[in-house]
Amino acid sequence: MLSFHKEGYKIIVYTFLLILSGILLSEKFVEVYWLQKGIQIFLVLFLIIVLQFFRNPKRITNINDNQIIAPVDGKVVVIEEVDEPEYFKGKKLQVSIFMSPINVHVTRYALSGLIKYSKYHPGKYLVAWHPKASTENERTTIVIKNNTFGEVLYRQIAGALAKRIVNYAEEGEKVVQGTDAGFIKFGSRVDLYLPLNTKLAVKIGDKVKGGEQVIAEK
């Protein structure tokens, strides 16, 4: 059964009412048959796009402290050693996953552990794959302390279309791998910052499935 994320309930209701109003108004005021039907088809297609964007498919996570799973659906676009300036202030292995508007946009915890840090940063709306997006765009930074990997940072980054990031992580909270960590609305990216000796199970260009696919392991 198709289910939707709670962050989309209000938008789905408003969109449905808007589409219904548009269809009824076109029936009443648009006399040209082909134009009337064209408008109605467009409106229905728009509703379908909104529904698919907020879909929240059930994912089965095999909880394992020796593995890091993909936090989101999308495409691996960056794998490189970088300086992480906000929290670690040192070298880390960055893995970035880009989400297009057609991907599921639920963010799931990549590993279990204790939330050590959770901070929201307002910012720009550069395209999500822009090199400066991780430091200049609207974003949230979350650090989880895990028994196996130690401290792992992930960052939700808004893109050119994303206008709101939802983050459920609260400092001091214990979280479980694969459970709901938040949502990013309309196109975005998630960066993971891992220990340098982490063994990756993905490469650039791979498409990953959030909540299930292993992307790194000890």
pLDDT, tens digit only, all 218 positions of the chain: 678 889 889 989 999 999 999 999 999 999 999 999 999 999 999 999 888 888 899 999 999 999 999 999 999 999 999 999 999 999 999 999 998 878 888 999 999 999 999 999 987 766 655 566 566 678 899 999 999 999 999 999 886 555 578 899 999 999 999 999 998 876 688 999 999 999 999 999 999 999 999 999 98
Separation CA 39–CA 42 (nearest Å):
5
Question: Is 29 in the same domain as 75?
Answer: no
Residues known to be catalytic: 188
Domain of residue 48: give its range: 6-53
Q: Total domain count for the chain?
A: 2
CA 141 to chain centre: 13
Separation CA 71–CA 155 (nearest Å):
10
In a domain, 62, yes or no: no
For residues 109 and 178, the answer to whether their CB atoms sit within 8 Å is yes
User: Which CATH number goes with the domain that contains 113?
Assistant: 2.70.70
For residues 177 and 149, the answer to whether their CB atoms sit within 8 Å is no
CB-count burial class (<10 Å; 0-12, 13-18, 19+) for 2 = exposed
Question: Is 205 in the same domain as 165?
Answer: yes
Question: Is 102 in the same domain as 160?
Answer: yes
Question: Is 81 in the same domain as 113?
Answer: yes
In a domain, 101, yes or no: yes
The sign of the torsion formed by the CA atoms of 158, 164, 170, 173 equals negative
In a domain, 178, yes or no: yes
